[in-house]
Amino acid sequence: MTFNRRAFIGTSAALAATLAAPMVRGQGKPRVVVIGGGAGGATAARYIAKDSKGAIDVTLIEPTRRYYTCFFSNLYLGGFKQMEDLGHSYGGLAAGGVNVVHDWAVGVDRAAKSVSLAGGGSVPYDKLILSPGIDFVEGAVEGWDLSAQNAMPHAYKAGSQTELLKAQLMAMPEGGTFAMVAPPNPYRCPPGPYERVSMVAHFLKANNPTAKIIVADPKPKFSKMGLFQEGWADHYEGMVDWIGEDFGGGNVSVDPGAMTVTIDGEVTKVDVANVIPAMKAGRIAELAGVTDGNWAPVNAADMSTKADADVYVLGDASSQGDMPKSGFSANSQAKVCANAVRGALTGSKIFPAKFSNTCWSLIATNDGVKVGATYEATPEKIAKVDGFISQTGESADLRKATYEESEGWYSGITSDMLG
């Protein structure tokens, strides 16, 4: 059975009914369904469709019609980007042979190999790739749940939440207080909490220079800590008060109605509160029965789940070893997965898994830093091979070059994901 390869607008139920027709083994094309159109899912869908040259039917299920990147969303808060700079169409994927279905996946029947859609019907698969990003652990921050996200936004899923947080920043009174409740490890990054602190500070320095930033952090240290603290001292002296685990940063509650944050018993009235709770895999991974309660354990060689060899989990939602939960990581994992899935379904060559990641952060204008590594697949996990990190005291020219490098990466990865 061959399907018309185009973006379906408002016809997901019709597509589901069409795809639900049974496929006899050995007849027709194998079918891959990808849930989640971010850095992992979009990349996997594009590469499987492109490299199989039409030999595999690929369906991407993604509820939003426009993808807003989490990476660089902090730069919108800082005034370096506009929201439209972060938005991307799925048209390139559709033109490249991917059936794009704008609907919510609400269930997975692994025995029947089918995905249920909110709009009705189900979509069958031979291989299923899940890349749903993150959801939040219920009760992770006392006093906060999703019903409070408009009063105290998380802004950890780019789009309307990011715009809301920016609007709240712009409305802060002179000399007001911005509070962040930082997440425990592991967490999605970007949008990294500490780059966000830097970008908020950059905005406030220009628009509200007597404002203060409080960061309540349950961790004793964080990635690129020395670089950020150096940058805060150089660019935003006296503005940022980071309260780590040793000083009660993990003993936090919030009151969205009163707009207060309580840190180790001390109540502070705040004007803006960015609450970033503990995270777990996106809900569909849990519904599919492939998580350990929070994350989805996978095999390093191909990103297949420990629970089911025909289900794969990419990016933030996976528990894979040493790689951080970043867009770069998800894109890298997706290419390994796409190669393995294509090989399994068509007999094409499967190459040894290799992974890489770089995370850039902007501290101030032309002051960019980065950390990264290469990785390999072992029987136990994705294991770090070697790495690099920016150093404190680097020259202004090097920091500017690092930021410009990140701009080039953004252009490259969005094209690589979406065509």
Q: At residue 149, does pLDDT exceed 80?
A: yes
Quote the distance between the C-alpha of residue 215 and its chain's center: 22
pLDDT tens sequence across 112-129: 999 999 999 999 999 999
Residue 21 has pLDDT above 90, yes or no: no
Are both 7-135+280-352 and 138-277 of the same fold?
yes
- Average pLDDT of the chain is 94
Whether residue 11 has pLDDT greater than 90: no
- Asked if pLDDT for residue 12 goes beyond 60, the answer is no
Residue 2 pLDDT more than 50?
Answer: no
| Long-range pairs, 72-75, Cβ under 8 A, ≥24 | 72/190, 72/410, 73/155, 73/158, 73/162, 73/190, 73/191, 74/190, 74/191, 74/192, 74/195, 74/196, 74/198, 74/199, 74/362, 75/199, 75/362
Residue ranges per structural domain of the chain: 7-135+280-352, 138-277
Q: Using alpha carbons only, how large is the chain's radius of gyration in Å?
A: 22
Q: Phi and psi for 303 in degrees, rounded to 5? A: 70, 15
Terminal CA-CA length for the chain: 26
Query: Are 367 and 391 within 8 A, CB to CB?
Result: no
Beta strand 114-117 with 105-109 is: antiparallel
Q: Which CATH architecture has domain 7-135+280-352?
A: 3-Layer(bba) Sandwich (3.50)
What are the pLDDT digits (tens) for 49-67?
A: 999 999 999 999 999 999 9
Question: What value does the mean pLDDT take over residues 382-389?
Answer: 98
pLDDT tens figures, 84-106:
999 999 999 999 999 999 999 99
Peptide bond into 63 cis (omega under 30): no
Could you tell me if 178 and 172 are in contact, meaning their C-beta atoms sit under 8 angstroms apart?
yes
Average pLDDT over residues 367-373: 98
Of 137, 171, 177, nearest in space to 154 by CA:
137
138-277: CATH, from 3.50.50.60, 3.40.47.10, 3.90.960.10, 3.40.50.1000: 3.50.50.60
Residue 309 has pLDDT above 70, yes or no: yes
What CA–CA distance (Å, rounded) separates 401 from 370? Answer: 11
DSSP label at 184?
Answer: P
- Confidence band for 27, pLDDT divided at 50, 70 and 90: low
CA–CA separation, 96 vs 347, rounded Å?
A: 22
At residue 8, does pLDDT exceed 70? no
Q: Is the pLDDT of residue 288 over 50?
A: yes
Q: Is 175 left (phi over 0), alpha (psi -120 to 50) or beta?
A: left
Confidence class of residue 1 from pLDDT cuts 50, 70 and 90? Answer: very low
Global pTM value: 0.93
Closest CA to 196 of 220, 173, 217: 217
Kindly give, in sequence order, each residue whose CB lies less than 8 Å from that of residue 166, ignoring residues fewer than 6 positions away: 76, 77
What residues form DSSP beta bridges with 279? Answer: 136
Region 393-405 average pLDDT: 98
Alpha-carbon distance of 99 to 27, in angstroms, equals: 20
DSSP letter (8 states) at residue 142: B
